[in-house]
């Protein structure tokens, strides 16, 4: 069986080769491309003849699948699958497995870091320091004692809750299905938005969660509240977020995700919004998470081959 890594998944080829020893010993051909290339024609060339393709978040649509008639499985080194044409895969009987759970710690820690950044105005004070000044330093706020509202209580949301508890925060949560989580009080969406000093998003993107936060929701939040988004960009209406920041409906925000993947277009409304920290979708990107997800995607392939 031909197994192709379309990209090195942020790791060295030697690391991938070591993880694939079991596949090679079982007689499978493993091809690893040492660079990331999103050119559609190049992707088709790389996948030629493959029965299994492994990649992270490069969009794979119908035209790619048309060029891969032998394809039987996609092992995706990512949590979300919205970049994969799932409907076409189902029609063709192509199995798609994601790398669930690999970035739980990475994303949760980044969410907390973004809260600290917005509250302590880290970037603004860095700029003042680099101008060789102290005059005009910007005092911040403390997370300790604040109410953090977590929307979405999967693995990442629950990990954020534990970290927030360590800061001495009161933790509220909304989840489609209420759960029992120590140190967390489950409330309805409106109560969470009204009472939280910090609202952090950890829900999947689907038809029900697109534009989950828009003008109506910002109107419910405290003027002193901040919003953190490490979930999916379209969960928040970008124009509504920009307007809320410009009009002082909320005090600040930080986002790692957008309606389209970075690089962003210059006309994106968020560029004109004040008190906003913007990161280039790095929540999943830690050395530890990359190693963990490699193990998951290889195991997914082996389990599929062994019909487990």
176 is catalytic: no
Distance between CA 11 and CA 14 in Å, rounded?
A: 8
Do residues 250 and 226 make contact, with C-beta atoms less than 8 angstroms apart? yes
Set 105, 141, 281, 299: catalytic member: 281
Tell me the two tokens of residue 182: 């120590």
Residue 105: which residues within 8 A CB-CB, separation 6 or more? 159, 286, 288, 289
Set 51, 109, 261, 299: catalytic member: 261
281 is catalytic: yes
Distance between CA 132 and CA 139 in Å, rounded?
A: 18
Q: H or E segment at 199?
A: strand 198-201
303 is catalytic: no
Phi, psi of 305 (to 5 degrees): -60, -40
Set 195, 232, 238, 293: catalytic member: 232
For the chain, report the end-to-end CA distance as a whole number of angstroms. Answer: 17
Number of other CB atoms surrounding residue 45 within 10 Å: 11
Distance between CA 32 and CA 85 in Å, rounded?
A: 23
Catalytically active residues, by annotation: 232, 261, 281
């Amino acid at each position: 069986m031909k197994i192709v890594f379309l990209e090195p998944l942020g790791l060295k080829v030697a690391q991938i080769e070591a993880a694939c020893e079991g596949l090679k010993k079982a007689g499978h051909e493993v091809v690893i491309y040492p660079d990331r290339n999103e050119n559609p024609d190049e992707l088709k060339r790389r996948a030629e003849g493959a029965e299994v393709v492994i990649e992270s978040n490069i969009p794979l649509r119908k035209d790619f699948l048309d060029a891969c008639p032998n394809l039987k499985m996609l092992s995706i080194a990512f949590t979300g699958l919205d970049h994969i044409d799932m409907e076409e895969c189902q029609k063709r009987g192509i199995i798609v497995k994601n790398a669930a759970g690999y970035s739980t710690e990475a994303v949760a820690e980044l969410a907390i870091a973004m809260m600290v950044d917005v509250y302590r105005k880290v970037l603004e004070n860095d700029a003042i320091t680099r101008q060789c000044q102290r005059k005009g330093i910007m005092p911040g706020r403390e997370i300790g004692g604040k109410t953090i509202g977590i929307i979405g209580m999967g693995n990442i949301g629950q990990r954020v809750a534990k970290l927030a508890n360590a800061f001495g925060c009161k933790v509220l949560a909304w989840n489609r299905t209420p759960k029992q989580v120590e140190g967390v009080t489950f409330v309805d969406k409106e109560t969470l938005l009204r009472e939280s000093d910090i609202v952090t998003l950890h829900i999947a993107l689907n038809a029900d969660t697109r534009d989950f936060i828009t003008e109506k929701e910002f109107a419910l939040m405290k003027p002193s509240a901040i919003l953190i988004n490490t979930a999916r960009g379209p969960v928040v209406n970008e124009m509504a977020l920009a307007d809320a920041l410009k009009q002082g409906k909320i005090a600040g925000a930080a986002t790692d995700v957008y309606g389209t993947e970075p690089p962003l277009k210059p006309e994106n409304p968020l560029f004109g919004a004040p008190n906003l920290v913007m990161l280039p979708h790095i929540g999943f990107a830690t050395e530890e998470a990359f190693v963990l997800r490699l193990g998951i995607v290889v195991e997914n392939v082996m389990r599929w081959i062994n019909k487990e």
